[in-house]
């Protein structure tokens, strides 16, 4: 019954590797997001997808690429991982691309790059 789910929950990897984080929502929402929360708990938007179209791409390195195979999924692929990529990554979704709509967050993926 989980509304927004992410896998894996924890990810420990070596610098330079390529990894993916998966996100799925079963709410029938049109818009999905990826956020990064750093070690100081600061939360920042990375990407947003609305009906498979990229809407937001903040100042995120192009090593990060969101991929949406369908409306219910928004995966985050990271190439050439760096130490500074260590963080908690949250997926979220909302009914439509409108800030008045509630965003529902997943439980987070804790990424540690060694």
**Contacting residue, 40, 59, 62, 70, with another protein by CB under 8 A:** 40
**Contacting residue, 25, 87, 97, 113, with another protein by CB under 8 A:** 97
> Minimum distance between the CB of residue 28 and another protein, rounded to whole angstroms?
18
Contact (Cβ atoms closer than 8 angstroms) between residue 80 and residue 16: yes
**Tokens read off for 93:** 């979704």
Strand, helix or coil for residue 113: strand
- Is residue 55 near another protein by the rule CB under 8 A? yes
**Contacting residue, 39, 41, 59, 70, with another protein by CB under 8 A:** 41
- Tokens 């540690």 belong to 112
CA–CA separation, 38 and 87 (whole Å)? 5
> Minimum distance between the CB of residue 69 and another protein, rounded to whole angstroms?
22
> Minimum distance between the CB of residue 113 and another protein, rounded to whole angstroms?
20
User: What are the φ and ψ backbone dihedral angles of 109, each rounded to 5 degrees?
Assistant: -120, 120
Residue-level length of the chain: 114
Please give the residue ranges that form the binding site for another protein (CB under 8 A). Answer: 4, 40-45, 48, 55-56, 58, 90, 92, 97-100, 102-103, 105-108
């Amino acid at each position: 019954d989980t509304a927004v789910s992410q896998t894996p929950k924890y990810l420990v990897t070596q610098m330079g590797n390529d990894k993916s984080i998966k996100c799925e929502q079963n709410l029938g929402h049109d818009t999905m997001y990826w956020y990064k929360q750093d070690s100081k708990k600061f939360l920042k938007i990375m990407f947003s997808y609305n009906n498979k179209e990229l809407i937001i791409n903040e100042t995120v390195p192009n090593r990060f690429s969101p991929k949406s195979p369908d409306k219910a999924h928004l995966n985050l692929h990271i190439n050439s991982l760096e130490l500074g990529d260590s963080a908690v990554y949250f997926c979220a979704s909302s009914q439509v691309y409108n800030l008045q709509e509630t965003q529902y967050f997943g439980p987070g993926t804790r990424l540690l790059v060694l």
